[in-house]
Amino acid sequence: MHPRKTETQSLWGRLASLRLTLALFLILAGASILGTLIPQNRPFQEYLEMYGSVATRIFKWVGLTDVYHSLWFMGILGLLVVHLVACSLQRLPATWKSLRTPQRPLSDGLLKSLPVVKRFELEAGVEEVVEALRGSAPRFFSRFKQEKIGETLHLLSQGGRWSRMGAYVAHMGVLGVLVGATIGFAFGFKGFVQIPEGKSVELVEERGSGKMVPLGFQVKCERFHVSSYPDGTPREYRSDLVFMKDGRRELEGALRVNHPISFGGYQFYQASYGISARVTFEAQKDSAGPPLKIIMEPGDTSAIDPQGQIVVRFLRYETDLQGRGPAVLLAHLRQDGHPVAGWVFQRDGKATIGGWSLKISHVEEHRWTGIQVKRDPGVWIVWVGCGLIMVGCAMAFLGVHRRIWIKLEPGKDGTHCWIAASSNRDIEGTKRQVEMLAEEFVKKGVRKSRG
Amino acid sequence: MDSTELLSAISLIYLASWFAYVISSTTRSLWMGRVASLIMWAGWAGNGAGFFLRWMESHQMGHGRIPLTNQYESMVLFAWATASVYLLLELRYRNRIIGAFVAFIPFLSLGLGSLLFDTTIRPLVPALQSNWLTAHVITCFLGYAAFAASFGVSLLYMVRQRLDPEGRMAKVLPSEDLLDHLNYRAIATGFPFLSLGIITGAIWADVAWGTYWSWDPKETWSLITWLIYAAFLHARLSRGWRGKRAAVLSVIGFAATLFTYFGVNFLLSGLHSYA
Ligand code: HEM
């Protein structure tokens, strides 16, 4: 005996069972619901405030703060893939075979297994009925194959076989989407870059890791433009970009929302914009001596004293904070490791940091445009998969696989007639069709001599 | 009269039609049934007129766009789509009793839409200026409308089951088999539309932001709804998942649809601040 074989068969059988399909659908739905009820990917502090330390630690450990990228969620998706493959491998050969084998004439055994059967008697003989039908509805008649067994005539018709393949096409599509998404996740790139008006960049910050990645070419923003409707609603955000390689202008284009630009294997998307500034500060101790000049832009860190003891970081710039004009959010990075942040205003402010007084002497504003940069080698597979899902659904839901058997057996006085049918769906419609067929036969099956 | 006033009036016409359907099915009056259908058709035509009037009004304001871009406009479309799906069912199956279980949906959608939400016509911000958005909203709402019909049919199924099978009412109602079949047909129609809605939404997101799927709560809930109806369709392949259990699954599916449509906007936060 082969105990191993039966074991793998039963495992395979279980992997391909419809029950597992339903279970996977409902588990995925449940997990997705969890991910919408618990806020995802927030700072640790926020979870602590919401749920307390014990629950937060459990959530972090189980992966509930990033459900859709957790190992167990991916595991379920992986199981879905295995399951889909198992289902298809298990059922496709049988489906294919049953679609390829020709329709057998109606036997007694078959008759018992068919869902729709109608039996009635006709006065006319077999040939007479067939002639009458051929004369009145040749198109209808040509759909039937004729097969004679002894004196009995069998008419066989089958349609919509292709619709049985719809499910397989849709399942291929689902696989395609999951495979394409995985490829994008593994080999794709997502980044963001801010380009000041008139400047160019060649490094892009990778989302998540924060790494600076070279593009291999330069992107210059010549101009950034916002236009508005009369009521103030923004109408268009537009960056006039130039893509340059080795100093040559290779491509120029207007980047707008909903109109991305492709260059050098990357796609560029208009994502945000803002105003930044080059700010000149003057630092002085005890109003003695000439002030020290320091020039900074957002993100810069610099010392404000000659000894390099007092270090500040330029966190943010606002053109007009609370109606008080330009302001800079500065953080004093103290040596005890506890930074202190505060706003410094150009108009009325002098900040005092570590005994030094600091003021803004000059502001040079410029606009920047925020651009999303992406490369996704899997996205076309996702779109092909989506197409297959739609084609498969259309095949499965619009088509009906229907088989009709008609058996005409000569009797002593006329013809014994059976009409039977089967369908993978729409038994109601098939029943109606059989009733209509039977009516037609009864009309045509009246003996000619009577009239 | 502007489109907003017209559409509020139409919601009352839908209400009248629902009353007429209820009266006709409880009194079994054929005459009343005809009146109900007639009012429903009038509501459908008025609903459509209101939709196009609003479209024209936006052009007169100088920023013409198809009215599919906020909560109110989506509810106008939902009412219209539900009424269309119902009228198709009525034409195809020649049965008005389903009306008593479906006709309140367009009334509620239009009525609540007019009462609860901002009806002013606003121009489109850059992210919404996309043909994918139009395709996305229309396909989603055709899906939702088919699911609304399946919900009404499932309710009717549950009522039918509780009735005395020999009773007067049971005799006028469609058979349990037919209702079960209708439930399946409605979902088998809605599911491809919802799929297409999710796909066009993903394409739009990819064109606008460079990310076709970001697990935003609205996206996630549309996926949850999709999974529930996929479970419904696959469950039918095994025996024992017809009738009562199918009706229950269909009601759960519609609850998920409503949550995707409304719940997410008000209870969860995300990219989709409108329909
Ligand atoms: C995840 C998304 C899925 C989609 C969109 C999908 C779609 C479909 C569709 C449209 C049908 C035709 C339904 C009908 O004829 O009523 C179908 C049938 C079927 N599906 Fe799926 N399916 C999915 C997943 C699965 C999975 C994971 C399995 C695993 C077993 C599965 C197994 C089947 C089977 C066995 C059939 C019947 C095939 C036949 O008619 O012989 N499906 N599916």
- The answer to whether the CB of A40 is under 6 A from ligand 1 is no
Alpha-carbon distance A381 to nearest alpha carbon in chain B (angstroms): 13
Contacts of A230 in chain B (CB under 8 A): 62
The answer to whether A35 faces chain B, any CB pair under 8 Å, is yes
Q: Do B209 and B95 belong together in one domain?
A: no
CB distance B195–A236 less than 8 Å? no
Domain end position, chosen among B124, B157, B192: B124
Q: Do B2 and B118 belong together in one domain?
A: yes
Q: Do B218 and B95 belong together in one domain?
A: no
Q: Do B143 and B99 belong together in one domain?
A: no
Domain end position, chosen among B124, B157, B186: B124
Q: Do B167 and B213 belong together in one domain?
A: yes
ipTM for the predicted complex: 0.89
- The answer to whether the CB of A171 is under 6 A from ligand 1 is yes
Among protein residues, the one whose CA lies closest to atom 24 of ligand 1: A171
Q: What is chain A's alpha carbon radius of gyration, rounded to the nearest angstrom?
A: 38
Q: Do B183 and B106 belong together in one domain?
A: no
Q: What is the rounded CA–CA span in Å between residue A50 and residue A352?
A: 37
CB distance B192–A397 less than 8 Å? yes
Q: What atom in ligand 1 is closest to the CA of residue A95?
A: 41
Lowest mean pLDDT among B38-42, B102-106, B265-269: B265-269
Say if residue B170's pLDDT is above 80.
Answer: no
Phi, psi (5° rounding) for residue A390?
-70, -45
If one counts the domains in chain B, the total is: 2
Tell me the pLDDT tens digit for each residue of A82-137.
Answer: 999 998 888 888 888 888 888 888 888 888 888 889 888 888 888 888 888 777 77
pLDDT at residue A9, rounded to an integer: 58
Q: What is the rounded CA–CA span in Å between residue B57 and residue B68?
A: 14
Show the tokens assigned to B80. 């219209």
Nearest CA-CA partner of A105 in A403, A377, A320: A403
- The answer to whether the CB of A91 is under 6 A from ligand 1 is yes
* Closest Cβ–Cβ partner in B123, B207, B211 for A235: B123
* Closest Cβ–Cβ partner in B122, B210, B230 for A374: B210
Say if residue B275's pLDDT is above 60.
Answer: no
Instruction: For chains A and B, count residue pairs whose Cβ atoms are closer than 8 Å.
Output: 104
pLDDT at residue A306, rounded to an integer: 83
Distance of CA A171 from the midpoint of ligand 1 (Å) = 7
Question: pLDDT exceeding 70 applies to what percent of chain A?
Answer: 97
Q: Do B14 and B133 belong together in one domain?
A: no
Q: Do B40 and B115 belong together in one domain?
A: yes
- Chain A residues 356-385 with CB within 8 Å of chain B: 372-374, 379, 382-383
Stretch A20-47: mean pLDDT, rounded? 89
- The answer to whether the CB of A87 is under 6 A from ligand 1 is yes
The answer to whether A269 faces chain B, any CB pair under 8 Å, is yes
pLDDT at residue A433, rounded to an integer: 85
Domain boundaries, chain A: 3-98, 186-274+370-377, 276-366
- The answer to whether the CB of B237 is under 6 A from ligand 1 is yes
Q: Do B111 and B136 belong together in one domain?
A: no
Host H or E run for residue A252: strand A248-256
Domain end position, chosen among B109, B124, B139: B124
Nearest CA-CA partner of A392 in A220, A77, A168: A168
CB distance B231–A25 less than 8 Å? yes
- The answer to whether the CB of B168 is under 6 A from ligand 1 is no
Q: Do B165 and B59 belong together in one domain?
A: no
CB distance A25–B227 less than 8 Å? yes
Q: Do B254 and B145 belong together in one domain?
A: yes
Phi, psi (5° rounding) for residue B240?
90, -5
pLDDT at residue B268, rounded to an integer: 67
Tell me the pLDDT tens digit for each residue of B51-87.
Answer: 999 988 888 887 778 888 888 998 999 999 999 989 9
Residues of B with CB under 8 A from a CB of A: 62-63, 122-123, 125-127, 129-130, 177-178, 181, 188-189, 191-192, 195-196, 199, 202-203, 206-213, 215, 217, 220-221, 223-224, 227-228, 230-231, 234-235, 237-238, 264, 268
Strands A414-423 and A116-122: antiparallel
Q: Which of the two residues, B49 and A276, has the higher pLDDT score?
A: B49
Q: Which domain holds residue B201?
A: 128-275
Ligand 1 pocket test target in A21, A28, A175, A388 with most atoms within 8 Å of CB: A21
Tell me the pLDDT tens digit for each residue of A197-223.
Answer: 888 999 999 988 888 999 999 999 999
Tell me the pLDDT tens digit for each residue of B218-243.
Answer: 899 999 999 999 999 999 887 778 88
Distance of CA B199 from the midpoint of ligand 1 (Å) = 18
Q: What atom in ligand 1 is closest to the CA of residue B237?
A: 37
Q: Hey, is B241 helix, strand or coil?
A: coil
Under 8 Å between Cβ of A342 and A261: no
Tell me the pLDDT tens digit for each residue of B237-264.
Answer: 877 788 889 999 999 999 999 999 887 7
Stretch B168-190: mean pLDDT, rounded? 86
Is the CA virtual torsion A15, A17, A21, A23 positive or negative? negative
Q: What atom in ligand 1 is closest to the CA of residue A170?
A: 7
pLDDT at residue A450, rounded to an integer: 42
Q: What is the rounded CA–CA span in Å between residue A30 and residue B258?
A: 17
Nearest CA-CA partner of B42 in B98, B95, B106: B106
Q: Do B143 and B241 belong together in one domain?
A: yes
Show the tokens assigned to A160. 């919509």
Say if residue A2's pLDDT is above 50.
Answer: no
pLDDT at residue A4, rounded to an integer: 43
